[in-house]
Amino acid sequence: MISNAPDTMQKGVTGITQEQMQRVEDFLQGAAYAFMAQNGKNVDFEARTLVGGFNAQSWTGTPLQDLVEAYAGNYDEAGKACGRILFNVLQEDERSFESIAGSVKSYRWVD
């Protein structure tokens, strides 16, 4: 749950099946958990921390490749979709997070 976010979810992603969406959600949740296991609480992260930069070049063979294909190879739009999906994943998570406003939405595990 994101403690300081509205109860609403971000807009969905079109062009992928429900099964593909579940795999993307599971992948992003796993990436977030791995980041938190390594960095602990109160460390800011965003979607691009987890899957951007160098990692964006290695989406082939991961569930994120389905997003790239849904956005006709546009990694920028697929990355924005990852951010929206990450928000929804964290909003539904049993752990508590804070949202940090900025040009890119960041999050912090607080409990």
The ranges assigned to domains in the chain are: 18-101
Say if CB 24 and CB 63 are below 8 A apart: yes
Residue 8 or residue 83, greater confidence: 83
Q: pTM of this prediction? A: 0.88
pLDDT per residue as tens digits for the range 54-67 = 666 678 889 999 99
pLDDT per residue as tens digits for the range 80-105 = 899 889 999 999 999 999 988 776 78
pLDDT per residue as tens digits for the range 21-72 = 999 999 999 999 999 999 988 899 999 899 887 666 678 889 999 999 999 8
Name 79's bridge partners.
Answer: none
Is residue 28 left, alpha or beta, with left meaning phi > 0 and alpha meaning psi from -120 to 50? Answer: alpha
Say if CB 68 and CB 75 are below 8 A apart: yes
Q: Give the CA-trace dihedral at 68, 28, 4, 9, to 10 degrees.
A: 50
Residue 23: per-residue pLDDT: 96
